[in-house]
Structure 1
């Protein structure tokens, strides 16, 4: 198997094109994703989505802001997020792990879900580590219509980010 068959990477222009197509689909579905463009430099644009979830343990309402950002190092999309309590306080790493991955071992968590500096905002965010993303995207099977939909569908559920099944429908064929 060639490297191209075992890894799926994106260039910055490809990421931006996919992000704009994803955003068109989001608008079509009346979903509230938005494209944040800091400037036209690579990689200063990202997709943003917010939602509120109820924490089962404490019954708190948690506001989560997700960002789909381009990783220059890995050449793949990356999922960053911040979770805040209703009083505005940020969930620390332990609370975030407990909320999103309560059954995972600590050693697994350090490899999967860690705090990193956001590459556009330069603030600490939680992130799903991108080290195996290109490999996982390559194993998806047939070519994806939009790699960001595939990426969010595969990685999002780990952090309570679930896309509507409508994102997978091709409305032109219905």
Structure 2
């Protein structure tokens, strides 16, 4: 457990979406086409930065073909529409982390489906983290979002873990 196939990602993403719909949450499944890996989960929210500025954040959970794991991409925009650069993103989302860790954790790269620059949490240790989770997860997409999302203020309701849908086998 840890790495996953595209088919597993797609199945688990759809299961996650079912839970989201049951909970009245606003996750969506975006599908560019039926090719691998052109489908991803999308969620948007407004957050307040440490300085009190309102930031619009769009999150995408995408399948990484290279690493065979879910990967979290996001874009953060100020209320005037301007995009936060990597340093502003770091200060907004991870101010307690050491600046030396910046490029090991957060990176800017092209979105694998949209081919536009997005911020991303680096996937190099995701499979290892998911394996260390303990008892194998029935939905690695849900586990991934639960573990990685809080790093960028993406917090799931506790009800996601309590849903009967989250125990798919």
Q: TM-score, normalised by structure 2?
A: 0.95
Does residue 144 (structure 1) correspond to residue 148 (structure 2)? The answer is no
- Cα distance in 1 for partners of 2:164, 2:54 equals 35
Cα shift readout 1:20-55 (whole Å, capped 9, x = no counterpart): 000000000000000000000000000000000111
Does residue 11 (structure 1) correspond to residue 12 (structure 2)? The answer is no
Gaps of 5+ in 1: 1-6
CA deviation after TM superposition for structure 1 residue 56, in Å: 2.3
3-state SS of 1:135 partner: helix
Q: Which has the higher contact order (CA 8 A, sep 6+)?
A: 2
- 1:29 maps to 23
Cα shift readout 1:107-140 (whole Å, capped 9, x = no counterpart): 2111001101100000110000000000000011
Does residue 64 (structure 1) correspond to residue 76 (structure 2)? The answer is no
CA deviation after TM superposition for structure 1 residue 104, in Å: 1.8
- 2:148 maps to 155
Identify which of 45, 50, 65 aligns with 1:51: 45
- Cα distance in 2 for partners of 1:170, 1:94 equals 37
Aligned length: 165
- Cα distance in 2 for partners of 1:152, 1:168 equals 11
Gaps of 5+ in 2: none
CA deviation after TM superposition for structure 1 residue 105, in Å: 2.0
- Cα distance in 1 for partners of 2:163, 2:31 equals 27
- The answer (yes or no) to whether the contact 2:19–2:163 under 8 Å persists in 1 is no
CA deviation after TM superposition for structure 1 residue 170, in Å: 3.3
Aligned-residue Cα RMSD (Å) equals 1.1
Flag as ranges the 4+ runs of structure 1 deviating above 3 A. none
CA deviation after TM superposition for structure 1 residue 103, in Å: 2.1
CA deviation after TM superposition for structure 1 residue 149, in Å: 0.9
